[in-house]
Amino acid sequence: MSLLYTLLIILGAVIAFSLFNFFQQKKVLKTLNQDEFRAGYRKAQLIDVREQKEYDGGHILGARNIPMSQLKMRMKEIRKDKPVYLYCQSGLRSGRAAQQLYRKGYRQLYHLQGGFKQWTGKIRSK
């Protein structure tokens, strides 16, 4: 029985952490649908947080690639006084990137609902 209780405690902790993360992201980041995203990203810093290979395979026209794996080292490339529009493949990494940026003082954070895989606008491939 103690194994069952241990597993239940672990499961409860995972669920609690996931809920905390979900509500934390809602607080620090605004999720935009494609029309809202398209309407604002040209006046903002458009950052693709996917890895270089994913970016090279196709990205939103005008996006700068700062992979999630390099974000801490390259954060100085992103201005705090301008809106930051983030996207990744599905929306998970851009949410985590926004949390990192928020902890460093960034406040105008937005991301694309559904990520790049849902994008129907103009793209560029290498």
Q: 25 pLDDT exceeds 70? A: no
b/e sequence 72-96, b meaning 16+ C-beta within 10 Å: eeebeebeeeebbbbbbbebebbbb
As a whole number, mean pLDDT of residues 5-10 equals: 86
Phi-psi group of 114: left, alpha or beta (phi > 0 → left; psi -120 to 50 → alpha; rest → beta): left
Mean pLDDT, the chain, whole residue set: 90
**Closest residue by Cα to residue 62 from 85, 96, 83:** 85
Structure tokens, 6: 């241990």
Structural domains for the chain: 28-125 (3.40.250.10)
Q: How far apart are CA 23 and CA 11, in angstroms?
A: 18
Q: 16 pLDDT exceeds 90? A: no
| 15 classed as catalytic | no
> Which of 63, 71, 78, 88 does the annotation list as catalytic?
88
Q: 23 pLDDT exceeds 70? A: no
Is residue 57 helix, strand or coil? coil
* pLDDT band at residue 61 using 50, 70 and 90 as cut-offs: very high
| CA torsion angle 44 49 50 52 (round to 10) | 80
Bridge partners of 45, per DSSP, are 84
Tell which wins on pLDDT, 58 or 16.
Answer: 58
pTM for this prediction:
0.80
Q: How far apart are CA 126 and CA 108, in angstroms?
A: 30
Instruction: Render pLDDT for 37-59 as a digit per residue (tens, 0 to 9).
Output: 999 999 999 999 999 999 999 99
